[in-house]
Structure 1
Amino acid sequence: MPAQHEVDEARIRQQVDKIVEGIRGKDLKALEQVYAADVVSFDIEPPLQHVGIAAKLKNWTNVFTLFREVSYEVRDLKLTVGTDVAYGHCFGRLSGTLGDGTATSGTWVRATFGFRKIDDDWLIAHDQASVPIDMLSGKGVADLEP
């Protein structure tokens, strides 16, 4: 029988898989199931923070409005799992076909997740997506690949 740590890590990886599936399916109900009600998100679009599940789902609604077809890819997911908190980081790329029919290969971002074990479910309590900044120009560098 696997150790509890291994079980928890597998369950967290399943939650990340649910995010990918929810995005690909434009399924807000599925996405809602992976976030804590009081999630704090430092997303790539303003403002500096989005607080609560409604704000997080609004971000995904904006994405789904922009894209006719959308995909999400996760690369190099690393997790550190404790008894009731965990964190992870990876690279993520949102891509697909925009509403006007333009295909986009997307931009790789750095993604960080903070999980809390709530009622035996691992839910995202915090997430952050970012791109590096060119210090001289002050602009994001969005053409890097992992």
Structure 2
Amino acid sequence: MTTQLNPVTQALDAYAAAVAAQDVDGFVALYDDDVVVYDSWGQWQYSGLSAWRGMVTDWFGSLGSDTVEVVFADVQTMVSREVAFGHAAVTFTAISARGERTRSMTNRLTINLARNDDAWKIVHEHSSLPIDMETGAAIFERA
């Protein structure tokens, strides 16, 4: 997916690679120290890199021998000199040690990056799932 010199697509590529490798340090290196994340799981928001690192560590630790494939679709970006943002549909697929796809979900992701000393970092991330109005349940598959 890499688009040369596009910090958003570069961040998304690095995100997918870090998740596949369950590389906590590589994953959190994408984020600013003061990042604010509105995640779809567990709590309303994570403020600061330490809080986000804790969530990522727990997530990767919960996978056991499974790996997770991350695929971004319909990526849209806008980049200026100091800020960039993008949004996409992101599908997370768990793959067992035997290579079987065991579960999958798709949600919406928006990331905002800022450039500081020629390094781009994610300063805000927002993931969401639509809600079925009749049941109140999250919709995990894209229609």
Alignment TM class, shorter chain as reference:
0.7 to 0.9
**How many residue pairs were aligned?**
138
Q: What is the rounded CA distance, in whole Å, between the counterparts of 1:113 and 1:123 in structure 2? A: 10
| Aligned partner of 2:135 among 134, 137, 142 | 137
- TM (norm. structure 1) is 0.84
Is the CA contact (8 Å cut-off) linking 1:35 and 1:125 kept in structure 2?
A: yes
Contact 2:7-2:84 at 8 Å conserved across structures: no
Aligned-partner residue type, residue 12 of structure 2: V
Q: Is the 8 A contact 1:23 1:72 kept in 2?
A: yes
What is the TM-score normalised by the length of structure 2? Answer: 0.85
Question: Is 2:42 aligned against 1:33?
Answer: no
Q: 1:39 and 1:98, CA in 2 relative to 1: closer, same or farther beyond 3 A?
A: farther
Measure how far apart 1:26 and its partner are: 0.5
Deviation at 1:122, TM superposition (A): 1.2
Q: What is aligned with 2:41?
A: 45
Give the letter aligned to residue 25 of structure 2: K
Kindly provide the amino acid, as one letter, of the partner of residue 132 in structure 2: D
Residue in 1 aligned with 2:72? 74
Percentage identity across aligned positions? 25
Segments of structure 1 that go 5 or more residues without pairing to the other structure are 1-5
C-alpha contact 1:40 1:50 (8 A) present in aligned 2: yes
Aligned-residue RMSD, C-alpha = 2.2
CA contact 1:64–1:70 (8 Å) conserved in 2: no
Q: Helix, strand or coil: the match of 1:47?
A: coil
Q: Output the CA distance in 1 between the equivalents of 2:28 and 2:141.
A: 30
Q: Which structure carries more helix by proportion?
A: 1
Task: State the Cα distance separating 1:126 from its structure 2 match.
Answer: 0.5
Structure 2: give runs of 5+ residues left out of the alignment: none
